[in-house]
Chain A
Amino acid sequence: MKKHWQKHIMMLPSIVILLIFSYVPMVGLVMAFQNYVPSNGYFGSEWTGLYWFKYMFNMGNFTSVVWNTLFISLLKIFTALLASVIVALLLNEMVSKRLKMLIQSAILFPYFVSWVVLADIVKDIVAQDGIVNQIICAMGGTEISFLTDEKWFIVLLVVTNIWKEVGYNAVIISATLATIDPALYEAADIDGASRMQKMRFITIPAISTTVAMLLILALGGVLNGGFDQIYNLYNTTVLSSADIIDTYVYRMGINRGMYSLGTAVGFFKSVIGAILLVLSYKAADKYAGYQIF
């Protein structure tokens, strides 16, 4: 036993922090079953049973918020992953290593810039008189209200998400590509395989595990939907199509002080989210041999 006391000491600070900042809020979920009033606290607030959950499901916009979250998330996950695979495959075909590094860095850059900054740039360039609409008009099109049209706003979310995320996933996929044995390609060359055949029979099978893993893990977080991006880009005119669970909880809880309703919605998200995460980790382990610990 004495052998291990140092290891327990090493774990202690993290365990204390997690206990306070992760486990105590889980207990705080009791708010969802109360009519929580900050001045009364958890113990003084009146118990309401499942009132807020019934309220939530009877409320018209809750279904649309959940639907928006799923729709936006799935759209973003699939488009970003597809774009990353394509970019990684094309980068892999490049001969000049220097140019490849340069392009890869350029594509990676937006990943490290915050959504606050990116959203300000985006809002400016897609504004009514912004540079994107100037280009569209110059090419003979008509102005598009990206920020206020419900459909175009979703397009904007998808495109800007690809812009920010594509580089990072492409790097991960490229790293897998780098592990492919060059002898396979040489053998294929001798057999007279075309570029497409090599891609179809060597490259794509080699990255499929990594891509599957990225997809599965992303699907586990499908209820997130990207708070930072949407909060910084949206406005009241696109609320009906762009309001997601997280933005809804923020507006209800923090802005309007409806703590119990916000917590009930958050509770719903946490439970479904946990189930999805467990399933995704199981699937990632089964299909990609990925274990979190």
Chain B
Amino acid sequence: MKKQKVSIFQMVNTTFLICLALVGILPFVHMIAVAFSGGAASASNSVGLVPVDFSLNAFEEVLQDKSFMKSIVISVVRVFLGTVITMVLTILTAYPVSLSAKEFPGRKFYVVFMVITMLFSGGLLPAYILNTRIGLVNTIWALVVPGAIPIFNVIVLLNFYRGIPNEIREAALIDGADDFCCLKNIYLPLSRPCLTTLTMFCVIGHWNAWFDGLLYMRDNTKYPLQTYLQVYLSSLSDIKSQQEVTQMLATSDRSLMYAYIVLSCIPILLVFPLLSKHIKSGLVLGSVKG
């Protein structure tokens, strides 16, 4: 009797969760379906979850868009450069602050210095004026340097470092190792799960960033991908309301828009399985103590 009651709960629960997961995923299925649909079907909004009049026209058109291709290149460069800079800085910074005040007398000063930047900021406009004044406009550095040191990542990593037994470091110090040596040979190899997660977060963060591109790239051939999408796709809907259905014969604007979006999501789909596997081991342990 009791057993049956449990299984009814299980059925209801599982069905509910599956429905929930589907609701979350269906918009993306719809996106793919419209991207692969023929112009007439998608323009009349009659595509549901399966492509109607299967066609690759939209993708062909997107792939001919040279500025889009260029924006992908810029985004790839940005992801690479930004991730390398941020990870190197995070690794270096987290090590001294993870030590106790006894082991590193300057620790307190640095912690306060960093906490202040977490609590208080000059806000958008002073930062904008500074970055334009020092000549970051239209350079890739505007996208990777101002936010190069996310304090939250430092905190996650330093908590992970603290989980590493101090005896290992002390033993190495007695054997004559210096701090760089300890960091390179003890802390780095032991914090791989955490570093993997942080790196992937960094990659996705840079891939998804759009606002800094909008602010600092006045030359629109220098837009990174997401900024390009933001600006281009909103102009797409403007054009549609003005001159209506004229050039929708082969490809509709909807298919085109979704084709752009589908292509922009591919890198996320590639890292996502790895990320969802690591997210628990790496980040959560670092950020939530006890």
Chain A positions within 8 Å of B, measured between CB atoms, are 4, 6-8, 10-11, 13-15, 17-18, 20-29, 31, 38, 87, 90-91, 93-96, 99, 102-110, 112-114, 116-117, 120-125, 129-131, 134, 163, 167, 171-172, 174-176, 195, 209-210, 213, 227-228, 231-232, 246, 249-250, 253-254, 259, 262-263, 266-267, 269-271, 273-274, 277-278, 289-293
Main secondary structure of the interface of B (DSSP, over half): helix
Who on chain A is nearest to B155 by CB?
A292
Determine the distance from Cα of A4 to Cα of B97 in the docked complex, in whole angstroms. 12
Q: How far is the CB of A48 from chain B (nearest CB, A)?
A: 16
- B24 beta carbon closer than 8 Å to chain A: yes
Determine the distance from Cα of A58 to Cα of B8 in the docked complex, in whole angstroms. 60
- The listed residue (A117, A277, A290) touching B261 by CB distance below 8 A is A117
The reply to whether B288 and A21 form a contact with Cβ atoms under 8 Å apart is no
Given contacts A112-B275, A116-B229, contact A125 B104 (CB under 8 A): no
- B164 beta carbon closer than 8 Å to chain A: no
Who on chain B is nearest to A24 by CB?
B130
The reply to whether B126 and A210 form a contact with Cβ atoms under 8 Å apart is no
Given contacts A90-B13, A175-B284, A270-B121, contact A4 B104 (CB under 8 A): yes
Considering residues B48, B209, B280, which has the most beta carbons from chain A within 10 angstroms of its beta carbon?
B280
The reply to whether B105 and A4 form a contact with Cβ atoms under 8 Å apart is yes
Chain B positions within 8 Å of A, measured between CB atoms, are 6, 9-10, 13-14, 16-18, 20-22, 24-25, 27-28, 30-31, 45, 48, 89, 92-93, 95-97, 99, 104-106, 110-111, 113-115, 117-131, 145-149, 154-155, 158, 178-180, 183, 204, 207-211, 215, 226, 229-230, 233, 237, 254, 257-258, 261, 264-265, 268, 272-273, 275-276, 279-280, 284-285, 287-290
- Starting from the known contacts A11-B92, A108-B279, 18 additional A-B residue pairs (CB-CB under 8 Å) come to A6-B180, A7-B95, A21-B131, A21-B147, A22-B117, A25-B121, A94-B13, A108-B276, A112-B275, A114-B226, A120-B229, A171-B279, A174-B280, A253-B124, A262-B124, A266-B124, A274-B119, A293-B155
Determine the distance from Cα of A8 to Cα of B184 in the docked complex, in whole angstroms. 16
Write out the residue numbers on chain A whose beta carbons fall within 8 Å of the beta carbon of B127.
21, 25, 28
Given contacts A6-B180, A10-B179, A130-B45, contact A25 B30 (CB under 8 A): no
Given contacts A10-B95, A13-B89, contact A107 B114 (CB under 8 A): no
Write out the residue numbers on chain A whose beta carbons fall within 8 Å of the beta carbon of B208.
112-114, 116
- The listed residue (B24, B106, B117, B257) touching A109 by CB distance below 8 A is B24
Q: How far is the CB of B163 from chain A (nearest CB, A)?
A: 15
The reply to whether A293 and B97 form a contact with Cβ atoms under 8 Å apart is yes
Report 24 cross-chain contacts, Cβ distance below 8 Å, ordered by A residue: A7-B95, A10-B95, A14-B92, A14-B93, A15-B113, A21-B127, A21-B131, A25-B126, A26-B120, A104-B276, A112-B275, A114-B207, A116-B233, A129-B45, A176-B288, A195-B9, A228-B210, A231-B211, A250-B124, A253-B124, A263-B125, A263-B126, A266-B122, A277-B119
The reply to whether B14 and A249 form a contact with Cβ atoms under 8 Å apart is no
Q: How far is the CB of B271 from chain A (nearest CB, A)?
A: 8
The reply to whether B125 and A253 form a contact with Cβ atoms under 8 Å apart is yes
Who on chain B is nearest to A275 by CB?
B119
Write out the residue numbers on chain A whose beta carbons fall within 8 Å of the beta carbon of B121.
22, 25-26, 270
Q: How far is the CB of A273 from chain B (nearest CB, A)?
A: 8
Q: How far is the CB of A174 from chain B (nearest CB, A)?
A: 8
Q: How far is the CB of A236 from chain B (nearest CB, A)?
A: 13
